[in-house]
Structure 1
Amino acid sequence: MLEGAAALKWGVERRLEFIEFRLFWEGGVNRSDIIEMFDVSVPQASKDLTLYQERAPHNAIYDKSAKRYVASAQFSPIFLKPDPDGYLSRLRSLAEGLTEPSESWIAHPPETDIALTPRRAVDSGVLQAILSAVREHRSIDVHYQSMSGKRADPMWRRMTPHAFGYDGLRWHARAYCHIDSKFKDFLLPRILGVRDMDRPGPGGDQDTLWQETFDIEIGPHPRLTPSQRAVVAKDYGMTKERAVLTVRYAMLFYVLKRLGLLSDASQQDPRTQHIVALNAAETARALKRAEFELDEAEQAPKVRGRA
């Protein structure tokens, strides 16, 4: 929270942040907005608005015709750090139906659509059990359906989970596999059942690929025009056409796949592949170092090597 809110109780601070959110992102706020969002009394909502004006006297002007406070030309937030990613995340959650409108703080969302992907069903009991195993540092039996082609039917496997990963489409548990004696990724939708927590195997502190990181250096595609390179640099937050992404080795394949950098991006069409790895040779070596034991052979080649 920004300076100016430290001396306030959490509930009051939250409501003042909401006032500022509405002023900044939607241009205005009124008393009924606070009442509906936080289920407070009329006097409390009025008190909140008065307090906000005391703390930020130049931020809001009362518009008599609209009967609400609107952002002034001198508006400068003190309770909210305006974050485009935060706002767009709320908008995305609304569009995907993951958040109720009353919970998003957005009163008048613009018409929005999302390039949806099918949701991968995760059993709540499975997730609860794996969370318990992580929290209590114990191993657990999972009834797992592999898609690698080695095993046609699901089988029980004992694992000691220590973390979770998300590749942009699916969640997996990062765990020590007691059968293969190595750390692997277990896709949550592929876990059909759980049973019997017991003594743990090696923990996350021994998962070298999870603990160690690699820096991917990215830049605009060299065959883009200067103006195109400039906008790509802006888009990715680059400085002097360079940005560094620090990635766990255990997540490296997923990140490179999403960025289109699994192969030599400089040989791809710059109209569709806008960035390249500036340290391509080092990145290729890092990928070879990492062991990826995904079960979907068509999605992740098994790259073997010492950790």
Structure 2
Amino acid sequence: MKASAPGLRWGIEQRLEFIEFRLFWEGGVNRADIRGFFGVSVPQASNDLSHYQEVAPGNMLYDKSLKRYYASDDFKPKYLVPDANHYLMQMVATDPSPFTATDSWVSQPVGFATIPQPRRAIDPSMLRKLLNVIRTEQSVEIRYQSLNSEKPKPQWRRITPHAFCFDGMRWHARAYCHDRHAYRDFLLPRISGLRNTAEPGKLADKDSAWHEIYHLKLKPHPKLSEEQQKAIASDYGMKDGEFEIPMRLALLFYFRKHYLGLDYKEHEKSPQQQHIVMADPDSVRAAQARADALPKE
């Protein structure tokens, strides 16, 4: 976000930045978008669009058939500093399942801290193009750097992307890979170019691992004492000594990799270090086999 422009009230500038955000990331904007988000009147929304045209001439064009403004080819942000990570985290905030800051009623928070994570660089221009490919249900060639030893240099690969997923550390594009004939996850920071959009391959409706919700059952480490197991059960709100975490089957690999040390050998680890184990590892193995017969990129 850029510094406030002189002579503008914050409310107006916020709406102008909103217009620019929608133009850049969402492909277009209209009066209903402004009214719906800010609760302003129809005349005010019209004035905001006219004002934006005055302060950023040539940035947007009007489609009479759709009654919607869209970004011109010469679009240059005036209020917005495009940030791919910021957009993706705003997208996460639209998910109704996680608890987000907008749900909080806290007015006087006390001191707190979170563990910082290294931020992966994602090209906003690349992400913007990829978003358009998804929205228009096309395929596209991506210049992708795999860490597979057989592909030490970036390769052009055709994919049909349909969603994004966050594994707690990194953002991926979920897509049908035309080379492997399977759904794969492609790390966004490793995509260095896009070209040649075309007809799609398989779309989202065929991605069974994406649509299936798997319930991972967890329980306290059996080698903990009875009282320690009760403490762990209380920590996680377990019922009858177990609890379930629902997730997309396509994300099961990442959950096991990044959280709770679930590597099928957790039962062999010290219970003082490994508090939680899988209650039904055979079921998890079978689910994982369905999710990804091919290795991750």
> What corresponds to 1:274 in structure 2?
275
Name the aligned partner's letter for residue 189 of structure 2.
Answer: P
> What corresponds to 1:304 in structure 2?
none
The whole-number CA distance in structure 2 between the counterparts of 1:230 and 1:290 is: 33
> What corresponds to 1:206 in structure 2?
206
Name the aligned partner's letter for residue 142 of structure 1.
Answer: I
Q: CA deviation at 1:108?
A: 4.8
Pair 1:249-2:249 in alignment: yes
Asked if 2 retains the 8 angstrom alpha-carbon contact of 1:264 and 1:280, the reply is no
Asked if 2 retains the 8 angstrom alpha-carbon contact of 1:185 and 1:293, the reply is no
Q: CA deviation at 1:109?
A: 4.0
> What corresponds to 1:261 in structure 2?
262
Unaligned runs of 5+ in 2: 1-37, 39-97
The whole-number CA distance in structure 1 between the counterparts of 2:191 and 2:109 is: 37
Asked if 2 retains the 8 angstrom alpha-carbon contact of 1:253 and 1:262, the reply is no
Pair 1:232-2:243 in alignment: no
1:162 to 1:109, Cα distance in 2 relative to 1, 3 A:
same
> What corresponds to 1:35 in structure 2?
none
Q: CA deviation at 1:171?
A: 0.8
Q: CA deviation at 1:114?
A: 2.4
> What corresponds to 1:140 in structure 2?
140
Name the aligned partner's letter for residue 176 of structure 1.
Answer: Y
Unaligned runs of 5+ in 1: 1-37, 39-84, 91-98, 296-307
Aligned partner of residue 149 in structure 1, secondary structure: coil
> What corresponds to 1:115 in structure 2?
115
CA deviation string 1:150-183 (max 9, x = no partner): 1111121111001111111001011011122211
Pair 1:220-2:224 in alignment: no
Asked if 2 retains the 8 angstrom alpha-carbon contact of 1:220 and 1:229, the reply is yes
Q: CA deviation at 1:106?
A: 6.0
Q: CA deviation at 1:107?
A: 5.7
Asked if 2 retains the 8 angstrom alpha-carbon contact of 1:265 and 1:276, the reply is yes
The whole-number CA distance in structure 2 between the counterparts of 1:105 and 1:247 is: 27
Asked if 2 retains the 8 angstrom alpha-carbon contact of 1:233 and 1:242, the reply is yes
> What corresponds to 2:30 in structure 1?
none
> What corresponds to 1:290 in structure 2?
291
1:131 to 1:274, Cα distance in 2 relative to 1, 3 A:
same
139-148 or 225-234: bigger deviation: 225-234
> What corresponds to 2:34 in structure 1?
none
Q: CA RMSD, aligned part only?
A: 2.4
Q: CA deviation at 1:263?
A: 1.6
> What corresponds to 1:156 in structure 2?
156
142-151 or 220-229: bigger deviation: 220-229
Aligned partner of residue 294 in structure 1, secondary structure: coil
Pairs within 5 Å for 1:20-35? none
CA deviation string 1:107-127 (max 9, x = no partner): 654333322221011111111
- Identical aligned pairs, as a percentage? 40
Q: CA deviation at 1:201?
A: 0.7
CA deviation string 1:34-62 (max 9, x = no partner): xxxx9xxxxxxxxxxxxxxxxxxxxxxxx
TM-score normalized by the length of structure 1: 0.59
Asked if 2 retains the 8 angstrom alpha-carbon contact of 1:160 and 1:177, the reply is yes
Asked if 2 retains the 8 angstrom alpha-carbon contact of 1:221 and 1:270, the reply is yes
The whole-number CA distance in structure 1 between the counterparts of 2:238 and 2:207 is: 31
TM-score normalized by the length of structure 2: 0.61
Q: CA deviation at 1:229?
A: 1.7
Asked if 2 retains the 8 angstrom alpha-carbon contact of 1:217 and 1:279, the reply is yes
Q: CA deviation at 1:105?
A: 7.6
Aligned partner of residue 127 in structure 1, secondary structure: helix
1:219 to 1:143, Cα distance in 2 relative to 1, 3 A:
same
Asked if 2 retains the 8 angstrom alpha-carbon contact of 1:249 and 1:286, the reply is yes
233-242 or 150-159: bigger deviation: 233-242
The whole-number CA distance in structure 2 between the counterparts of 1:173 and 1:228 is: 41
Name the aligned partner's letter for residue 173 of structure 1.
Answer: A
The whole-number CA distance in structure 2 between the counterparts of 1:187 and 1:293 is: 14
Asked if 2 retains the 8 angstrom alpha-carbon contact of 1:143 and 1:194, the reply is yes
The whole-number CA distance in structure 2 between the counterparts of 1:293 and 1:128 is: 27
